[in-house]
Structure 1
Amino acid sequence: MECAGKGSGTRCIGPARRRCGRCGAVAYCSASHRISHWNDHKEECERLEQQMKRVDVLNDLPFTFSEEATVQVCEKQETRCSFLRKRGIHFVGMWTCECSCGLSVASFDHERSKDDGWDLASILCPCSEPSSPINSLRSWKDYYEWRSIPLHSPVALLLHWPLTIYYATQVTGLRSLSSIISNKLIIHYLGPEIELLQLAVFGELRALFPGVQVHIELIGPAIPQHRDGEKINLCSYAHCTDADCICKSSSDNFDRSLGTVRSSAVTLQLHKGFYHDRYRDIAKDSFPHLVIAPNAGIAAYSSWSSTIELIKEINVPAVFSDYCEEACHLAACNISTIIGCPLSLPIQLNPFRQPMVVEDSALFLPSYSNCFLFGI
């Protein structure tokens, strides 16, 4: 973690080991940097103090590995690499970019193979149709019980992508507006990055939205130029490793085509660029019911201003997420300034956040992928 006072005057004299005595969320290399940074920090200090009091709530997850994936990673007793290695999924398939060594070599140019799967036994993953109808899911425990998956399975580390989409439709009321959605749900998904190497997990939307054609337009600058316009059919669930599992008899996960795409429960299309630049062409044939921007980082990128203005103009529900509550607060301030009114969906904890903390985050406040939601 860097000194919070870095760049505000004299050079840092060592590691940032002196935490703010009030909030405990930021640290400094020296007492002098802590004092010199106070004028910048004092406005956020009380807010960060309140957020730090909710750390136990962030770490409250139902899995048997919860302490290992939260407290022990924060305290550097474990790492994301060691967690994945113990389960035989380190640097494997869709799990490759779930640790720092995988991220360092990950390339979004790489097209995933047609046999992308969970690299887990069938008992540990949702590789086929659910055995019972879906009820309203409010937690990871609800989901695991419905899909008959044991709580020691790590699949939630990848399933937070489709489950966050599912939850976004709940909090915006789209799940109850069947007359509007009819039998097709169109989502504009902004800023995909790691997801581009984990697209098979979106096949779970087949179970989460039974009887509905789910179409997702993925738009973002990280999409490689040669994949711009690529269409993907998710014709089945991501496969397990069991040779005799029923998932092996279903059609291939991916059916890429530059022409007509066969009918499927879930279809994806990739578009390179910023949403405000690509929207007009995309919306001609695919006007959204929902806009969603996972881990948006709105306060960090000036390009969001034009996108927020566009979303306000088209007047459809938009849900954003970020890694920690402070990032959401900063984003909410930016959005309110742009649209001239408060958020319609206040900042709230996402029950389907990824259940493993981000290593070496900018604050001592634990961060999770898709941790908090908010929207307009």
Structure 2
Amino acid sequence: MECAAKGSRRRCSGPANRRCDCGVVFYCSASHQISHWNVHKEECGRLKRQMCSVETLNDFPFTFSSEATYQVCEKVETRCSFLDKLGIHRTGIWICECSCGSSVFSLDHLRFDKGWSLSSRLCPCREPLSILKKQLCSWSEYYEWRGIPLDSPAALLLHWPLTIYQAIQLAFAEQLITETTDELCIHYLGPERELYQTAIFGELHALLPGVQVHIDFVGPAVPPDRDGETIDLYSYAHCLDANCSCKTHKSEFSSHINHDKPPEITLRFHSGYYHDRYKDLTKKFLPELIIAPNAGIAAYKSWLPTIELIREIEIPAIFSDYCEEACRLAVNCISSVTGTPPTIPVQLNPFRQPLAVEDTALLLPCYSNCFLFGI
């Protein structure tokens, strides 16, 4: 941990091992803590209240939950060691789930590596046995519906499509989009790891049956050589089992092959910032919903023109971030531009990734797509 007063007039006197009463920030000395109080006092109580929710944040139904949450946060486990125990460390589409893997993967390496690298017992590689009859509200409900055992790590990647599902349900509940639709266009802002895990979005076939979903991935992390690329998802990501029925759909996704029926899930890629690409994006489809995962709005000035654009076009937008504090700061930034509070208040995402983020700036537990709010 770094001293919260680092960068002030006085140099740090040593390691930051003096913990504030809020339990979230650290200081190198009493003098630095005292001098920083004018800055920290406004957030201290708020952070302390957020720390009271740690057990709720870490509450997952999986057999590996303790290792993936408390042990990673306490540095007993690392993401690498945890993934290694599951046999998926630096493998296929799992490769960018840890720092050492993300340093070696490349787009060309993963473009055609589309499978789960798991047995059929552990992943949703086929159609569900039943259509959804009620809204899913937890990982337990999802795993039971898809017939996956709770020792499966599939949720570590499924949080991407399930967060889209949750965002859509929130927009339905607030009547921001119509629930009876057979076509849905989503503008998905700031993708990073998702660009190398596109097969996972095939799960939207099960989550949104009968709906043609068009997702435009837009952001500076989209490689220029993928700008304008389209991928059609005709089936689910495949398992490892050679004789599994999921192999009957040989073309898992394709930009080139003609099929008898139109794709239900289409992904398009656009390099650059949303406010620069919006006019190009809307020549063919106007979006019903904007989704921005792990947005970091308070951390990046480039969000300002995008927020101004979203206010102007009046399209509902759902944001997520790694912790509640990041969302609170984002709400303040957005409200200063729009002059209004969020339409959907900050709330815990039941489908957050069940693997803690390492080496965070605050001691608050952080998870990918942890909290959601909307405007």
TM-score of the aligned structures, taking structure 1 as reference length = 0.95
2:154 — aligned with what? Answer: 155
Q: Deviations over 1:97-130 (max 9, x none)?
A: 11121123344x4463334111000000000100
**Partners in 1 of 2:237 and 2:173 — Cα distance?**
26
Alpha-carbon distance in 2 for matches of 1:330, 1:261: 48
Alignment of structure 1 residues 135-146 onto 2, 5 Å: 135-146=134-145
Deviation per residue, 1:118-145 (Å, 9 max, x gap): 1000000000100111131000001000
The CA deviation string for residues 326-374 of structure 1, in whole angstroms up to 9 with x for no partner, is 1001000000010011111100000000011101111111000000000
Aligned length: 374
Q: Which deviates more, 270-279 or 173-182?
A: 173-182
CA distance in structure 2 between the aligned counterparts of 1:131 and 1:340, rounded to whole angstroms? 47
Which residue number corresponds to residue 223 of structure 1? 222
Instruction: Determine what percentage of the aligned residue pairs are the same residue.
Output: 63
1:171 aligns with 2:170: yes
Equivalent residue letter for 1:364: L
Note the alpha carbon deviations across 1:198-224, whole angstroms, 9 max, x for none. Answer: 111001001100011111000000111
Which residue of the partner structure matches residue 231 of structure 2?
Answer: 232
2:309 maps to a residue whose letter is: L
Per-residue CA deviations over 1:212-260 (Å, capped at 9, x if unaligned) read 1111000000111111000001111001000100111113222124999
Q: Which amino acid aligns with 1:278?
A: R
Match of 2:131 in 1: 133
Q: Distance in 2 between matches of 1:130 and 1:316?
A: 32
Query: Which one is further off, 73-82 or 326-335?
Result: 73-82
Distance 2:259 2:237 in 1: 23
Aligned Cα root-mean-square deviation (Å): 2.0
1:14 paired with 2:14, answer: yes
CA distance 1:339–1:131, shift in 2 (3 Å): same
Contact 1:233 1:261 in 2 (8 A): no
For 2:317, the equivalent position in structure 1 comes to 318
Structure 1 segment 355-370 matched on structure 2, within 5 A: 355-370=354-369
Structure 1: how far apart are the matches of 2:221 and 2:257?
A: 20
120, 123, 147: which one pairs with 2:121?
A: 123
Structure 1's 174 and 115: CA in aligned 2 closer, same or farther, altered over 3 A? farther
Name the stretch that deviates more: 261-270 or 41-50: 261-270
1:346 aligns with 2:345: yes
Change in Cα spacing, 1:293 to 1:367, as seen in structure 2 (3 Å) is same
Q: Work out whether residues 118 and 239 of structure 1, in 8 Å CA contact, stay in contact via their aligned partners in 2.
A: yes
Matching residue's letter, 1:291: I
1:55 match: 54
Q: For 1:172 and 1:210, how far apart are their aligned partners in 2?
A: 18
Q: 1:106 to 1:19 in 2, by over 3 A?
A: farther
Deviations 1:56-115 (A, max 9, x none): 1101111111111111111111111111101110000111111121123344x4463334
Q: Which letter maps to 1:339?
A: T
- Deviation (angstroms), 1:262: 7.2
Q: Distance in 2 between matches of 1:25 and 1:341?
A: 29
Is 1:270 equivalent to 2:269 in the alignment? yes
| Structure-2 change in CA distance of 1:259 and 1:151 (3 Å) | closer
What is the alpha-carbon distance in structure 2 between the residues aligned to residue 193 and residue 85 of structure 1?
22
Q: Which runs of 5+ in 2 are unaligned?
A: none
Question: Are residues 262 and 29 of structure 1, via their aligned partners in 2, closer, same or farther at CA, if it must alter by over 3 Å?
Answer: farther
Find the aligned partners of 1:215 and 1:130 in 2 and give their Cα distance.
Answer: 22
1:114 matched to 2:112? The reply is yes
Does the CA contact (< 8 Å) of 2:111 and 2:196 recur in 1? Answer: no
Could you give the per-residue CA deviations for residues 171-203 of structure 1, whole angstroms, max 9, x where no partner exists? 111798896763111100000011111111001
* Distance in 2 between residues matched to 1:81 and 1:10, nearest whole Å: 37
TM-score, normalising length from structure 2? 0.96
Q: Which moved more, 1:209-218 or 1:110-119?
A: 110-119
Runs of 4 or more consecutive aligned structure 1 residues displaced over 4 Å after TM superposition = 174-181, 257-262
Report the 3-state secondary structure (helix = DSSP H, G, I; strand = E; otherwise coil) of the residue aligned with 2:44: helix
1:269 counterpart SS class: strand
